[in-house]
């Protein structure tokens, strides 16, 4: 390995940390209320608000390759069962921070958590 190779590794690590900071920590406020947006092939099919008072519940979503069962418990959401082969989305487990997402590529199902600022609109 030359110096160029090592520099490249450092560069990739740095850009990973930087993008991670902006995508993950920058817009995640643990206290703010969150909303999970579930979409299939780019179309939003369900919105679930995630807060401590959210009851445990399940959703059945029809993805491209079959049914996806999504579980919600309080602030957390996960894919409990999916019809895809590799089950990556199931193994990913619970997510709860704004900016996090679970993507099931074969089923084209996307769950992403969005932060809700608390105000719906500001009037002057």
Partner 1 sequence: MNMGDTDIKPDIRMVRIALLIALGVSMHLVESMIMLPIPIPGVKLGLANLATLLALYLYGVQDGILVAVARVFLGSLISGLFLSPAFFLGLGGGVFSTIIMGLFMRWRCFTVVGVCIAGAAAHNFGQLLVASLLLKSSAVAYYLPFLLVASIPTGLFTGFAMKPLLLRLKRAGILT
Where does this chain bind partner 1 (CB under 8 A)?
1-5, 8-9, 12-13, 15-17, 19-20, 23-24, 39, 41-42, 86, 88-89, 91-93, 99-101, 103, 105-106, 108, 110-112
| Residue that is written with structure tokens 């193994």 in the block | 91
Judged by beta carbon, residue 69 or residue 90, the one nearer partner 1 is: 90
| Local structure of residue 95 (DSSP, 8 states) | B
Q: How far is the CB of 17 from partner 1 (least distance, A)?
A: 7
| Residue that is written with structure tokens 């958590």 in the block | 113
Judged by beta carbon, residue 53 or residue 84, the one nearer partner 1 is: 84
Cα→Cα distances 16→19, 24, 28, 110, Å: 5, 11, 18, 22
Judged by beta carbon, residue 4 or residue 118, the one nearer partner 1 is: 4
| Biggest alpha carbon–alpha carbon distance for the chain | 61
């Amino acid at each position: 390995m030359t110096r160029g190779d090592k520099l490249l590794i450092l560069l990739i690590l740095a850009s990973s940390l930087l993008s991670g900071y902006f995508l993950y920590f920058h817009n995640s406020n643990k206290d703010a209320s969150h909303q999970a947006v579930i979409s299939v092939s780019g179309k939003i099919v369900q919105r679930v608000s995630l807060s401590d008072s959210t009851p445990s519940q399940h959703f059945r979503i029809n993805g491209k390759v079959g049914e996806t069962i999504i579980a919600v418990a309080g602030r957390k959401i996960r894919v409990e069962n999916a019809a895809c082969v590799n089950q990556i989305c199931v193994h990913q487990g619970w997510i709860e921070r704004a900016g996090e997402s679970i993507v099931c590529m074969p089923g084209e199902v996307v769950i992403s958590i969005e932060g809700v600022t608390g105000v719906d609109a500001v009037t002057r």
